[in-house]
Amino acid sequence: MENNINIDKKTDELIAELTLEEKIKLCSGASMWTTEEIKRLNIPAIVMSDGPHGLRYVVEINEFGATSNKKTTCFPTASALASSWNKDLLYRVGKTLAEEAKSLGVNIILGPGVNIKRSPLGGRNFEYFSEDPILTADLASSFVKGVQDQGVGTSLKHYVCNNQEYKRFSVNVKVAERVLREIYLLAFERVIKETAPWTVMAAYNRVNGSPATQSDYLLNQILRDEWGYQGLVISDWGAIHDRVAALKSGLDLEMPGPSRVNKDKIQRQLDKNELKEEILNKSVKQILKTVFKSSKEKITVDYDEHDKIAQSAAEESVVLLKNENDLLPVDFNNLNSITVIGEMAVNPRYQGNGSSKVTPYILSDGLSEIEKSIPPAVELYYASGYNNDQNLESQIDEALNKAAKSDYVIIFAGIPEKFESEGFDRKNIDLPESQNKLIKAVSEVNKNIIVVLNNGSAVNISAWIDKVPAVLEGWLPGQAGAKAIVNVIKGKVNPSGKLAETFPLSLAHNPSYLNFPGVNEEVNYAEGLYIGYRYYEKKKIEPQFPFGHGLSYTKFEYTNLSLDKEVWVEDEIEVKFELKNVGELAGKEIVQLYVSQNTPYYDRPRKELKKFKKVSLKSGESKELRFNLSYRDFAYFNPELKDWVVEEDEYKIIIASSSKDIRLNASIKINSKDIAHILNTDDPVLDWLADPLGKRVLTEVLSTEQIDYLENEENIYITERPLYRLDFLSDEMVNEQEIEKIILNYSMLRGDYYSN
């Protein structure tokens, strides 16, 4: 891979040699997966492939549009990998995918997806990491680094607010700027600034009226100018509304291609001088830079070794939701019989459906892996119990007969593929009634039941959770998922995953319930900042399982929290505490750091995740852990000032095992020169008194007697009114000239305040 200086020089020289027709040609794809090559100048094509959790390398497309793909490694989907909370693991998965890309001549992997899980109904939620932008960003950054360190590019997608499948090609998302910045853009911002992904993929949908592919605000003003992004912006496949408008707005490459119609449109606009060639040259330069960054090295890969990495990834991602009376792990050497139930035990649900669907190199299933794990003397029974979303009485009867005579029952359940896929959203968050009926029936004949779930997003299991002692969330765990799940069941692996999304008790509890998927081609993000755990905590709604929840076969103790300062102004704060494994087994704990502001001017969530770390500890071992917090960890996006702001206030640092399981906390006072709101005469006098700068001006202009008068609670009827009414309401206790002086001094002082 060439360095940036050489690439810039080379691209500038080539742009000077390219004809106008060749430049236009480069800005559209040549096929479904490649860009145009210019043989005259030895400019090769860029080869792309879907690949958030495995390469979907298309070998052939038949007359009906179905694809034949090369066999590659299928890793756990993003929703599973997110539950690992393991940045090193995400790097390793990215590195492994890049190796397979290089072996197949692929230059860019179309992933990761960093869209936020606004609703559990989102059809592509399995492709996305979390409801939280910080967790999403940090895991995605590790994945991008893992890929790009090998000389293969990534495509950060889908920019932005592509949070549903319903009318995804045309829906207009109405979202407030603060919400856009703090929730939906934040993951993109962090990944772009930390890793410089080679490409960013603009989404199908509209955002506040403008198509994402031709939004000057999103593509030029924010992405390029504010964040400093210098990579290639491509369209989602077929997402262009107006090619020339998109080009002017910073959309460099249209995919797929070829697109003769749009090439002609660009040519006509250039001929009319309504499109400047300099704009075209900018996009051509980005395309050429990407061409020359791409590794041309072809390597061979060890798919058996990659299967082991996929298994390790799945093992880290399994979440132990419930383990009553320590039913798990199961000692397979100390039982007489075991029954496995469920169609998914033999036909596993291991990945999502749609553009990310991989043809796996190898595939494990639960029944076979259990059979390999038990001694020959143990009786193993199997019953289907259901067929996808239905069951016959005979299937339930068979399952009950076998379960009744077994020491343990393992039921594999989950969401069938036909209910969870790209292209449509889920209708509910329930398991099929056939599975609920089966699990409840089995619980009546055997109390040692373990339910294994395979699904891409949150599910409601309230129908039977009180009847079942142990539940494992296996997600869509990839080709080696069954091996991983069985290793957790038998205790070879101590579960260490935690939920990256809240599991609600009811779909109606979900914050977007009344505004999903929208009406009349429009969806209103009316819940604002309150997505996932932010909402459940604000509304004091008890979820089925909270964000960050996950049990272990061991226990951890948190102690000795300390901050390196009590008052913070500008430099970093160091947070220290000790974590100890006080159980009998080695294990991994995911520690979570949240920040809470005491009295914000603008409404803020009760707490927000800012840092996390996965820590491995032997039994009895302890470690001192450290986190550094800086300005943005305390900031929010101020809608009035159009900037990130840290208010002067008291903040709480919270150390937790989940969003609800708080272990330690400490307070810190922050002295900040930022202001939350520029006061004016329309603001109530109470706001002037509450604002540090406003109060300072009042005390400078007014006498002690006047201030005492305003602060007297008996005069609340005056101070809750606007400042401009103060002279009239106070019987001229404060006159008009004093009010004018207050405003003048405030304006002057605010300028001095910022210049110091």
Question: DSSP readout, 262-311?
Answer: HHHHHHHHHHTTSS-HHHHHHHHHHHHHHHHHS--------HHHHHHHHH
Q: Environment class of residue 645 by beta-carbon count within 10 Å: exposed (0-12), middle (13-18) or buried (19+)?
A: buried
Distinct helix (H) and strand (E) counts, the chain: 24, 27
Q: Which amino acid is at 169?
A: F
Residue spans per domain, the chain: 305-538, 556-670, 685-755
Burial 483-503 (b: 16+ CB within 10 A, else e): bbbbbbbbeebbbbbbbbbbb
Which regions in the chain score pLDDT beneath 70?
1-3, 61-67, 388-389, 729-732, 751-756
3-state secondary structure 687-734: HHHHCHHHHHHHHHHCCHHHHHHHHCHHHHHHHCCEHHHHHHHCCCCC
| pLDDT tens digits, one per residue of 194-216 | 999 999 999 999 999 999 999 99
- Fold: same for 305-538 and 556-670: no
Could you tell me the sign of the dihedral formed by the alpha carbons of 686, 689, 694, 699, in that order? Answer: positive
Q: Which CATH number fits domain 305-538: 3.30.365.10, 2.30.42.10, 3.40.50.720, 3.40.50.1700?
A: 3.40.50.1700
Predicted local distance difference test score (pLDDT) of residue 751:
64
Would you state the structure tokens that stand for residue 375, as one six-digit string?
């001694």
Ramachandran area for residue 333 (φ above 0: left; ψ -120 to 50: alpha; else beta): alpha
For the chain, first and last CA: distance in Å?
46
> Residue 639 corresponds to which tokens in the numbers above?
């809608």
CA dist 650 → 333, 573, 672 (Å): 56, 14, 11
Question: Residue 532: which of 179, 79, 120, 180 has the closest Cα?
Answer: 120
Compute the distance between CA of residue 115 and CA of residue 120 in angstroms, rounded to an integer: 13
Report helix, strand or coil for 190. helix
Which neighbouring-strand residues pair with 156? Answer: 200
Architecture of domain 556-670: Sandwich (2.60)
Question: Which pLDDT value is given to residue 756?
Answer: 38
d(C-alpha 460, C-alpha 435), whole Å = 12
pLDDT of residue 51: 82
Report residue 404: phi and psi, to 5°: -65, -25
The per-residue pLDDT for 731 is 61
Cβ neighbours around 62 below 10 Å, total: 8
Please list the alpha-helical segments (H only) found in 650-701: 685-690, 692-701
Q: What is the pLDDT of residue 568?
A: 81
Residue 435 Cα to chain centre, angstroms: 29
By annotation, the residues acting in catalysis are 236
- From residue 157, alpha-carbon distances to 50, 81, 113, 235, 327 in Å are 11, 17, 5, 10, 41
Handedness of CA 99, 100, 106, 108 (dihedral sign): negative
pLDDT of res. 143:
99
The pTM is what? 0.94
- Classify strands 408-414 and 449-454 as parallel, antiparallel or unpaired: parallel
Task: Provide φ and ψ at 211, rounded to 5°.
Answer: -55, 140
- Report the distance separating Cα 593 and Cα 613, nearest Å: 9
DSSP helix/strand/coil, 465: helix
Cis previous bond, 133, omega within 30:
no
Q: d(Cα 405, Cα 754) in Å, to the nearest integer?
A: 76
Helix (H) or strand (E) holding 401: helix 393-404
Tokens of 380: 């193993």
Alpha helices (H) along 169-276: 177-179, 186-195, 216, 243-248, 260-271
Beta-carbon neighbour count of residue 291 at 10 Å?
Answer: 22
> Given this model, what pLDDT does residue 569 score?
72
Which strands form 649-656's sheet, in the order they lie side by side? 567-568, 662-670, 649-656, 587-597, 608-617
Amino acid identity at 367: L
